[in-house]
Structure 1
């Protein structure tokens, strides 16, 4: 039966609210290492989540059966759980927390899994691996690709009806160089995460990057160690994706601020009173939550409770304005949030998540930023990271560094790292790159929640310059 028919057949349960969320996903991944095919992995998952509200409380049931009696059993369990929860509730919800949204979303990808050609994909990955074989010191060459198709349908007794069809793909590669001087790795891929399918794989562009990262890995073997001192720091977008993710995205999740995630993924240094007052960064800092960017990695029409996505400023002119939180979290905290209640699959309840969290471009060219630096360093591509449970104190390592001296890029340095504290770090934002430096990417493995949920998130950023940052080499 269609979801609307199933919903009608559950009307005799006399619940205050019922929703059905059908999720059908197909995934494919394959990899090559040192010109050896490592394998192809496929998976398919299809099921249904039932959500019921009774006496101001929500509860869930899930099944991979589409037989009416099995779905009815899930709905009854959810109804009883909601009634039991209402005896101990701290907050009471209404239909205001479940909008009657109707709409549809289709990602721009036209070549999804139905267009996948194993032979062509294998040949491309093999050629990427071969291209990185520029010297015997390149001891490890890997290339990886992933494609996924996801269809969701959400209906509810309040009239909500939302269909979303999303294709995603990612390509990644890395080259490791080794000699008596040590090991160095260069990689590429975060800006290849998109809502396109196979049309995302531009062979010429990928092979150009394969040759580049292999050459750079070799160069790094002979490079000087990164100096240890306080200096200006110029960060490339592919490093800022993770910086944004860890020091802006996660601490602004409202369920962390409420303490819901404290036991598993950590709390946040942000307090409810900080919204509207905290100077999170310099006046040049503008961060948006924007699932309406068509084709970015985590774009959608509405989240998994039916709340329509809108573009919102999380931070404007450096001031914290709103968090990443669902309508439920917003009510509990009496704070503004966004349409970000998302689930990894049909058998997980939606929780507060990121979607596309983007640092908006400024007005400075890359040339202007470099010329403004007396002594500093340019870093690219994350190698390692660490941040405390409050998402406050952090340390990041990058793959590639180049000193900036008297307004010019000079020596290549290896093992560059930097450290800081979230709000002071972003308040040291000195210049923000213009649209010519702006790049769009994403991360496909953001984990959170108990039981764990791994989800796709999008990030975009220009090149950015920070002043007076602690920089150090690999041995410190």
Structure 2
């Protein structure tokens, strides 16, 4: 199949149907997953998917259609999208306007050393078997899991404005969990590198870099400590969060609230809106002066990295929060036009089946200047918490509670005893304005989230959140 010629035929058909704009994507997605559970290898999960997606703007309204049926011509797919657009136009309040973007041409290939799909499944299985054996040697544990996951995405994008793009993106994830349970209530779990594993835009080499086997004794020791530990005390205190815990807080309390389609109400009937309304742009003191956050799909290794979004907008770093002040949103061409700005290049679809939505890229908190020893050492009395275990946030993304796998009391500038079931709660802007220290660049990691849900029908996006450990004052913990 000549993909470029097929797409050009589709764009020509859209023009004949009076589309004022059209874009066409073709995607090939390959996934592979291997895992061990309690010493037993699970069935290998493998899939290959390929299809076309057509989006048109007709009579001022969007139409979309997609298919993996080789018997369905691209012209027929365009016809379906046009029918949807014309039906949508009848219920439209105002016609869609798009912010300007020049035609883009080129190729993007993510950086990796070893394509994981060139590695035999038997070799990956043996790698995991060795990790499982290391976990199984830890005394007193009642369950253990480990996994490795790989994705290869090939994507072509063509638009009626002249864009002609190709991207190849390879992503790898891996992780492990060790747990002990005496009863339904008496249970402790520790994960590495974090509770859902670490995912990056990288190749098979990530597995060796994570060095999971060496972490098994530490996980077992911490599980044992948790089983004997007291509950996290309930009080208002200084809180230090690990980088992986910061990743989830950034995702839920900054990333989602700053999706501009959500701000305009597109998620109102599903997962809510946002307190960060456009009348507060340039005015809202979102965090303290040391809090600066960017959208950066160019970041090396980030799970939310790419060359162009699914509207053909070139990836770039965009300030979202600068010195604590709200200065921009994650946006599409349509939503950006509504506030008189250019798209920040955050329009992304889950595969060829779906229409793109405004999604997170890599949402990164700028590092500070504190070593981990300083973050802890400057605290006379407080709590250090690590690794996400639960979260809850209201439909305005304003009031939240997070739970962690493990916590330590801080006494006299030192980590003291372990506490179990550590939680903290707060209000988004009050919490971020209470940030008084951020770890330095040596501690910075972009943590990958492989399953960010949004939309109806639901879509999963792969996003990154970069952070060092950070410290907050007067936070409610426990309870």
Q: Are 1:143 and 2:146 matched, yes or no?
A: yes
- Contact kept, 8 Å, 1:445 with 1:455, in 2: the verdict is yes
Shift of the alpha carbon at 1:332? Answer: 2.7
Q: Are 1:22 and 2:26 matched, yes or no?
A: yes
Of 256, 259, 262, 1:256 maps to 262
Deviations 1:101-127 (A, max 9, x none): 212211112423431222221122122
- Contact kept, 8 Å, 2:172 with 2:204, in 1: the verdict is yes
Give 3-state SS (helix, strand or coil) of 1:30's partner. Answer: strand
Give 3-state SS (helix, strand or coil) of 1:216's partner. Answer: helix
Equivalence for 2:425: 419
Equivalence for 1:157: 160
Of 271, 296, 319, 2:302 maps to 296
Distance verdict in 2 for CA 1:54–1:208, change over 3 Å: same
Q: Are 1:169 and 2:172 matched, yes or no?
A: yes
Shift of the alpha carbon at 1:195? Answer: 1.2
- Contact kept, 8 Å, 1:152 with 1:163, in 2: the verdict is yes
Q: How does 1:55-454 map to 2 (within 5 A)?
A: 55-66=59-70, 70-93=73-96, 96=99, 99-179=102-182, 182-190=186-194, 192-202=198-208, 205-334=211-340, 337-454=343-460
- Contact kept, 8 Å, 1:281 with 1:424, in 2: the verdict is yes
- Contact kept, 8 Å, 1:99 with 1:306, in 2: the verdict is no
- Contact kept, 8 Å, 1:65 with 1:71, in 2: the verdict is no
Structure 1, gaps ≥5 residues long: none
Distance verdict in 2 for CA 1:351–1:141, change over 3 Å: same
Deviations 1:294-329 (A, max 9, x none): 321110111001111110110010001111121111
Shift of the alpha carbon at 1:391? Answer: 1.1
Equivalence for 1:39: 43
Equivalence for 2:9: 9
Q: How does 1:464-475 map to 2 (within 5 A)?
A: 464-472=470-478
Rounded to whole Å, the distance in 2 between the matches of 1:41 and 1:244 is 31
Deviations 1:425-470 (A, max 9, x none): 0010010111122122210000100111011001110110000101
- Contact kept, 8 Å, 1:112 with 1:148, in 2: the verdict is no
- Contact kept, 8 Å, 2:99 with 2:341, in 1: the verdict is no
Distance verdict in 2 for CA 1:216–1:247, change over 3 Å: same
Deviations 1:246-267 (A, max 9, x none): 0111111111111111111211
Root-mean-square deviation (CA), in Å?
A: 1.9
- Contact kept, 8 Å, 2:7 with 2:74, in 1: the verdict is no
Distance verdict in 2 for CA 1:222–1:8, change over 3 Å: closer
Give 3-state SS (helix, strand or coil) of 1:77's partner. Answer: helix
Give 3-state SS (helix, strand or coil) of 2:211's partner. Answer: helix
- Contact kept, 8 Å, 1:124 with 1:203, in 2: the verdict is no
Rounded to whole Å, the distance in 1 between the matches of 2:342 and 2:74 is 34
Deviations 1:201-226 (A, max 9, x none): 11782111222212211121112221
- Contact kept, 8 Å, 2:13 with 2:78, in 1: the verdict is no
Deviations 1:394-446 (A, max 9, x none): 11111111111111111121111111111100010010111122122210000
Structure 2, gaps ≥5 residues long: none
Shift of the alpha carbon at 1:96? Answer: 4.1
Shift of the alpha carbon at 1:98? Answer: 5.6
- Contact kept, 8 Å, 1:34 with 1:130, in 2: the verdict is no
Shift of the alpha carbon at 1:66? Answer: 4.5
Deviations 1:57-76 (A, max 9, x none): 32111111345x62111101
Give 3-state SS (helix, strand or coil) of 1:202's partner. Answer: helix
Rounded to whole Å, the distance in 2 between the matches of 1:19 and 1:9 is 12
- Contact kept, 8 Å, 1:134 with 1:215, in 2: the verdict is no
Aligned positions, number: 472
- Contact kept, 8 Å, 1:167 with 1:195, in 2: the verdict is yes
Q: TM-score, normalised by structure 1?
A: 0.95
Shift of the alpha carbon at 1:91? Answer: 3.5
Rounded to whole Å, the distance in 2 between the matches of 1:87 and 1:306 is 28
Shift of the alpha carbon at 1:4? Answer: 2.9
